[in-house]
Structures are given as structure tokens and as C-alpha cells.
């Protein structure tokens, strides 16, 4: 059975996106049982045939494919040999930088793109072209790899499950079949509590599939990235453009992706953490309005805030679910369900810091991160203004 799977995984002509689904016994179900959905207060809509039904909830029954078993021991690989999947992303690039700084041999799985990821090569990493949505391209990237660090997520313009579900299942099965020694998967905090949000449900299913695969693994759930706040709030405030926010009470404990990368490699080297689920969170949880207020203070100017009520997001999601060609938009708007739940994306980190041997003082706070950003950017703007005046010519 194992040899059959290996042949399927390593023969490009025999493995396709459809066959990757056949390799797994993990199944998705669409549920329309009102009694099941009622505790979640799901909205209803009328479909094209006039039948009123609940918005479908996608759930999974995760069980690893019995065929995905380790092959006989082959040529040993160095423990320092790692593959970073999603290396060009906000988190992925910090994982690559940290790995290189700590002396790892880094290979980056990058989708073919018009603008090559030359910055990864410039840093000293090896770049290989592959695509999780095309499983036949995956096995070759795993040859000689000891550890896989999965930072990948789908692009906004593609269906969520193409990469985040089908691609991850194929990646995990290939890793198992080719004897990968460790697999690190980044998930989302509270993903098990929000099955009404497709991406969070998919993350939870992937966690279970990885656990049941038998791979030596670590699952790390994340709350939010500080880096994402720069383009969302800091830059628009400095450029006096509109800042979009919501009236949601949700609080998020943002974390610097450099800290996430550093803690990840500490966990990777700690054999006592194998098989564990960790959650990384920043020192404090913030609402959207609190983040905007902080940016205003550090920038020394008011923000032009456009507030979008969460109720509008929910209504938009219901409308986009009416049409098949807008279902992907509806799936991404599903986070509005989380925003209305008064959820706090944060956890106490004392036990995690103790487990990793990390001092809490070494983890950046959002205030310090944004203060450093605004200090540097305002200094550069001041220097540019001074240089501009020096080059002025008067007649």
C-alpha cells in the first residue's frame, strides 16, 4: 500500500488535484440541519427555486489516509535542512530570515510568478517553484528535507479550500510518504470555536488531519500580525487617506512576526514540544478603535476614519452567498460572524514562555512596534524634506 502511494505521489502524470482528494479519507459535508445550526444563529436566504434554507456550515470528519505511512529508512538528511512553504508572505519571509540567521539550510517553495522571489535568493535561500494547488509539483521539493514549516495561505482571488484545504492535505500526505521528520503548521487561534467561518473550520480540520497522519508535528495557532497594521492604519493616516474600521468589540493580541519566527525555532529544537498545540499571542489585546487611536497619537495627526458597521458586513455576506460566482467573497466575509461574537483573540503566555525558556520582556509590544515604525518613517520624511529644500534653485 505504501509503495502504491509513493508511486502516485512521485509520478506527475498520475497525480492531479482530483486524485489528491482520493488519497484522503477526510470528507467535507454540507449541513442544512436547522437543529444543528440554530445555536449559531445562522441567517437564512431563499435560493433560486424559492426554498428557504440555512446558510450551509462546512464541517469535516478528519482521518488520515491509511495508505500514508513512512517508507523504509533511506539516505539520512541533515536536521538543519528545512522547507518553508509560503516563504514570500508576511510571516514566511520572517521565518526564512530567522532560519538563515540561525544557520539552517533553507529551501523555499514558491509559486511560479511574473516577478521572481529574488530577495529570497539574495538572502541565501534556495527557491524552488511548486504549487500546492498542483500536487504533482510537491514531492520534488521535499527531497533531502528534514523539516517542513508551513506558512502558506491562499490568495484573495482564489477559493479558500484550493490551497488551504486541498493543497495542505496533499502536502501533508507527501510529507508522510517521503519520511519528513517534522512538520510545523501555523493555524488560527479559536479556529475550533468558529465552524461558521470557512477558513477557521479548514484550519481546524487541517490540524486534525495532521495529528492523525502520524507525522511528528507542532501546531502553532496565531492571533494577529503587527505588520498587517502598517498598511491598514499607519500608512493611510500618514497619507491623510481614509482608514477603514468597524464597530466590532473583537480584541486581538497582535504579535510581531519576527517574534513568532524566533519562538517557532525555539519550539522546533525542543523535543518535549513535539505533538503539542501552542498559541502565540502578543502582550495585550486591542480593539480596532484602540489601534487607530494609538496610531493617531504616534503620527501626531487625526485619522479620517470610515466606520463600517458589522451588520453591513453580515448583510453583504448574505447577499454574496446568493450567487455561485460570489461564494468566495462570502467565505471571506464570514469573519463578520467572529467580529460580532465579542471574541478575544488572546491567551495568557506565561506557561508558553516557561516551556520555551523565553522572557516575556523580549517579546515586542504593539506600542513599541508602532512607536519604532512612526519614529523611523517620520525621520525619513523629515530628511527627505530637508534634502528637497537643499536642492531648490532660486533666481
Q: Give the per-residue pLDDT at 355.
A: 95
C-alpha cell at 96: 526564512
C-alpha cell at 225: 500580525
- The DSSP secondary-structure symbol of 233 reads I
Q: What percent of the chain has pLDDT over 70?
A: 69
Q: How many residues does the chain have?
A: 395
Residue 55 pLDDT more than 50? Answer: no
Rounded CA separation 219/89 (Å): 18
**Is 386 or 191 the better-scoring residue by pLDDT?**
191
Rounded CA separation 10/99 (Å): 28
Residue 132 pLDDT more than 80? Answer: yes
Mean pLDDT within 155-159 = 78
Strands (E), the chain: 27-31, 44-46, 52-54, 57-61, 81-85, 105-110, 126-129, 147-150, 182-188, 217-222, 242-246, 251-252, 277-280, 304-308, 344-345
**Angle ∠(261,168,150) on CA atoms, nearest 5:** 10
Q: What is the pLDDT of residues 362-392, one digit of tens each?
A: 999 999 999 999 999 988 877 776 554 445 4
Strands (E), 282-354: 304-308, 344-345
Q: Give the per-residue pLDDT at 41.
A: 32
Q: What is the pLDDT of residues 89-106, one digit of tens each?
A: 999 999 999 999 999 999
CA torsion sign, 91 to 350 to 347 to 291?
Answer: negative
Q: Give the per-residue pLDDT at 114.
A: 78
Rounded CA separation 152/140 (Å): 18
Strands (E), 309-373: 344-345
Answer for the pair 293, 300: CB distance below 8 angstroms, yes or no.
Answer: no
Parts of the chain belonging to CATH 3.90.25: 226-254+281-346+364-394
Parts of the chain belonging to CATH 3.40.50.720: 76-222
Domain 76-222 in CATH 3.40.50.720? The answer is yes
Rg (CA), the chain: 23
Answer for the pair 320, 313: CB distance below 8 angstroms, yes or no.
Answer: no
Average pLDDT across the chain, whole number: 77
Longest dimension (CA), the chain: 85
Rounded CA separation 174/177 (Å): 5
Q: Give the per-residue pLDDT at 13.
A: 32
C-alpha cell at 362: 523580549
Residue 1 pLDDT more than 50? Answer: no
Domain 226-254+281-346+364-394 in CATH 3.90.25? The answer is yes
- Pick from 39-53, 89-103, 204-218, 272-286: least confident: 39-53
Q: Is 50 helix (H, G, I), strand (E, B) or coil?
A: coil
Task: Write down the pTM of the prediction.
Answer: 0.76
Name which of 52, 58, 86, 111 is nearest 327 in CA terms. 58
Q: What percent of the chain has pLDDT over 90?
A: 54
Mean pLDDT within 160-174 = 93
Amino acid at each position: 500500500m505504501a509503495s502504491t502511494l509513493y508511486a502516485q505521489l512521485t509520478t506527475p502524470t498520475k497525480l492531479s488535484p482530483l486524485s489528491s482528494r482520493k488519497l484522503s479519507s477526510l470528507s467535507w459535508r454540507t449541513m442544512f440541519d436547522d437543529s444543528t445550526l440554530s445555536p449559531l444563529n445562522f441567517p437564512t436566504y431563499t435560493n433560486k427555486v424559492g426554498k428557504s434554507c440555512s446558510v450551509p456550515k462546512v464541517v469535516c470528519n478528519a482521518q488520515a489516509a491509511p495508505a500514508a505511512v513512512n517508507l523504509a529508512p533511506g539516505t539520512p538528511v541533515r536536521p538543519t535542512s528545512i522547507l518553508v512553504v509560503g516563504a514570500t508572505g508576511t510571516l514566511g519571509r520572517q521565518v526564512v530570515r530567522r532560519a538563515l540567521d540561525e544557520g539552517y539550510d533553507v529551501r523555499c517553495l514558491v509559486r511560479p510568478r511574473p516577478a521572481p522571489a529574488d530577495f529570497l535568493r539574495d538572502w541565501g535561500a534556495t527557491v524552488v517553484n511548486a504549487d500546492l494547488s498542483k500536487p504533482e509539483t510537491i514531492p520534488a521539493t521535499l527531497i533531502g528535507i528534514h523539516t517542513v514549516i508551513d506558512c502558506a495561505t491562499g490568495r484573495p482571488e482564489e477559493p479558500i479550500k484550493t490551497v488551504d484545504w486541498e493543497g495542505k492535505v496533499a502536502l501533508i500526505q507527501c510529507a508522510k510518504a517521503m519520511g519528513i521528520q517534522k512538520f510545523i503548521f501555523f493555524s488560527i487561534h479559536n479556529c475550533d470555536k468558529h465552524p461558521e467561518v470557512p477558513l477557521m473550520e479548514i484550519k481546524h480540520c487541517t490540524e486534525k488531519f495532521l495529528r492523525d497522519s502520524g507525522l511528528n508535528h507542532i501546531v502553532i495557532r496565531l492571533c494577529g500580525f503587527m505588520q498587517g497594521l502598517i498598511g491598514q492604519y499607519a500608512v493611510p493616516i500618514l497619507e491623510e487617506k481614509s482608514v477603514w474600521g468597524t464597530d466590532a468589540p473583537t480584541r486581538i493580541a497582535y504579535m510581531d512576526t519576527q517574534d513568532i519566527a524566533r519562538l517557532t525555532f525555539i519550539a522546533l529544537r525542543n523535543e518535549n514540544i513535539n505533538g503539542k498545540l501552542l498559541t502565540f499571542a502578543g502582550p495585550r489585546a486591542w480593539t480596532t478603535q484602540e489601534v487607530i487611536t494609538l496610531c493617531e497619537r504616534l503620527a501626531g495627526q487625526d485619522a479620517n476614519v470610515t466606520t463600517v458597521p458589522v451588520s453591513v458586513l453580515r448583510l453583504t455576506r448574505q447577499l454574496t452567498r446568493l450567487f455561485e460566482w460570489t461564494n468566495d467573497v462570502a467565505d471571506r466575509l464570514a469573519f463578520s460572524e467572529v467580529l460580532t461574537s465579542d471574541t478575544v483573540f488572546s491567551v495568557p503566555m506565561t506557561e508558553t514562555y516557561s516551556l520555551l525558556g523565553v522572557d516575556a520582556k523580549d517579546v515586542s509590544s504593539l506600542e513599541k512596534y508602532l512607536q519604532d515604525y512612526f519614529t523611523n518613517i517620520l525621520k525619513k520624511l523629515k530628511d527627505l524634506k530637508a534634502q528637497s529644500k537643499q536642492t531648490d534653485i532660486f533666481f
